[in-house]
Amino acid sequence: MLITKVALPRRTFLRGIGATLALPFLDAMSPAMSAAPKRLPRFSAIYVGNGANMFDWTPVNDGAGFEFSPILRPLEPFRDQTLLFTGLDNYPATDQGDTGGQHPRAAPAFMSSVHPKQTEGADVQAGTTVDQLIAQKISRESKLSSLEVAVDRNDVVGACDHGYACAYMNSMSWKTPTMPLPAETNPRFVFERLFGTGDSAEDRAVRVQEDRSILDGLSDEISRLSQKLDGRDRSKLGEYLDAIRDVENRIQRAESYNKDFDLPERPVGVPSTFREYAELMFDLQLLAFQADVTRVTSFMMARENINRTYDEIGLPEAHHSMSHHGNNPEKMKDFSKLNTYHVQTLAYYLEKLQSTVEGDGTLLDNTVVLYGKGMSDGNTHNNYSVPVVIVGGKHTGFRGNRHLRYPKGTPLANLSLSLLEKFGVDVENFGDSTGQLPLLAEV
């Protein structure tokens, strides 16, 4: 039986000069002969716009032991935790009498199962999203109720597409039906929000200019704590601090790369390639979970109607343009390559969660990751049978290694309703739901 030198409360902080740092879960927070440590549930929603090449997305066979499709093959290492859904309709994103607006409706409808109001003004309206309902339940003890991040510029305001305000395009998370939550795109500002004390732009600028680590003001506290911990906890603390320094170094490198460019509209600290950018944002979310700063995150990994190019993998055509492939085989092949690249980036996040020890397991063991799109075929702006994947760790109650296919007309909202039930959110319905999905809760 492991007996530690010190017993720590779960909510332990290191406080130093100009910084406060939450600790990850250590064995010392669950002393010998005490009850088993309480497992902390997490929820992470990841959205990618513009649909997919559904021919290369959808597996050919259903049920357990299905063969991963070409696009989803990067998830093979997480087969036992993966649930793939086919046949779920994002019906609230459809026209329903509106004139256009397929792109701005897609993400809010995917997350809220409510048809967004067509307006260019401030009177936006959709629905409270599934991540925010979960946050109300599981993040009450955390510093932040939730964390919203993105990798595409969201500083455009006003009307964005066919009479829809840009708020619909920029926000996948809505705290209330009339309150979209803007996603932070600057890694430095995300880091400061999680760990720093600089609340103003001036404070953050000073930190950048000083080029110092948030850990510098905590060195004495860290040293004193390390002397009291056993070897396993010292190792875990060291890995956590190394991860913080790694994120800081990557932010600083990105800022150095951008500092000679006179682009005031572009946030500082943005890495040069999509993969570096997305991985940095994923690492920030992992740190937020590890330190229990929040238990709910949302990540718009690719916005609807975005014109980002992916030259680093030989795809110079803009993302949105690629989605309108006109069923040209070569263009569809390129689109599949992009879809696969996004799933590979998701697999990076899953691997980091899986390799981060927490209590008697890993972060992934206690995390549900939702990955999906508000459209299926982006070429025709189809909102039926949209791509959806859930990766649920072994302590989340999901039984993976299954491809579940549902009858035509099954609402995506039924999956959201099932997720809410899993997290203890007591609601009778969600959006256009007709009931929970059968088999989802089997163990």
C-alpha span between 393 and 40 (Å, rounded): 12
Contact by Cβ (8 Å): 374, 93 = yes
Residue 20 maps to a domain: no
- Last residue of some domain: 238, 269, 300? 269
Q: Which ranges of 73-165 does DSSP label H, i.e. alpha helix?
A: 102-112, 130-138
Mean pLDDT, 10 residues at a time, over the chain (443 residues)? Answer: 50 56 65 59 97 97 95 97 97 89 94 95 94 95 92 65 85 94 90 68 53 64 72 72 71 56 43 92 93 94 94 96 96 98 98 91 95 97 97 90 95 97 95 84 40
In single-letter form, the type of residue at position 348 comes to Y
- The domain tally of the chain equals 2
426-437 per-residue burial string, b: 16 or more CB within 10 A, e: under 16: eeeebbbbeebb
* CA distances (Å), origin 229, targets 22, 243, 287, 389: 16, 19, 21, 40
Contact by Cβ (8 Å): 221, 14 = yes
The residue range of the domain holding 91 is 36-185+292-422
> Could you say which DSSP state residue 20 is in?
E
Are 200 and 172 members of one domain?
A: no
Residue 282 maps to a domain: no
Q: Specify the pLDDT at position 225.
A: 75
Strand partners, 345: none
Residue 30 maps to a domain: no
C-alpha span between 287 and 253 (Å, rounded): 19
Residue 412 maps to a domain: yes
Are 192 and 181 members of one domain?
A: no
243-263 per-residue burial string, b: 16 or more CB within 10 A, e: under 16: bbeebbebbeebbeebeeeee
> Could you say which DSSP state residue 345 is in?
H
Q: What is the pTM of this model?
A: 0.83
Q: Specify the pLDDT at position 11.
A: 56
- Please name the residue that has the structure tokens 């597409």: 161
Are 42 and 111 members of one domain?
A: yes
Dig out the tokens for 369 from the structure. 């990751």
Dig out the tokens for 26 from the structure. 């250590």
Residues 6+ apart with CB under 8 A from 201: none
C-alpha span between 121 and 252 (Å, rounded): 38
- Last residue of some domain: 254, 269, 284? 269
CATH code, 364: 3.40.720
Are 250 and 320 members of one domain?
A: no
Strand partners, 179: 176
Are 42 and 170 members of one domain?
A: yes
Q: Specify the pLDDT at position 130.
A: 98
Are 209 and 180 members of one domain?
A: no
C-alpha span between 190 and 100 (Å, rounded): 34
Q: Specify the pLDDT at position 253.
A: 63
C-alpha span between 432 and 127 (Å, rounded): 11
C-alpha span between 13 and 106 (Å, rounded): 40
Residue 23 maps to a domain: no
Are 164 and 208 members of one domain?
A: no
Helix (H, G, I), strand (E, B) or coil at 322: helix
Pairing of the two strands 82-89 and 388-392: antiparallel
Cα angle for residues 258, 263, 267 (degrees, 5° grid): 65
Residue 427 maps to a domain: no
Residue 438 maps to a domain: no
Are 158 and 255 members of one domain?
A: no
Are 321 and 396 members of one domain?
A: yes
Are 52 and 158 members of one domain?
A: yes
Are 331 and 361 members of one domain?
A: yes
C-alpha span between 218 and 19 (Å, rounded): 7
Q: Specify the pLDDT at position 364.
A: 96
Neighbours of 31 (CB within 10 A): 13
Closest CA to 142 of 297, 26, 269, 33: 297
- Length in residues, the chain: 443
Residue 93 maps to a domain: yes
Residues 6+ apart with CB under 8 A from 183: 148, 149, 150, 154, 170, 171, 172, 173, 298, 299, 300
Are 77 and 156 members of one domain?
A: yes
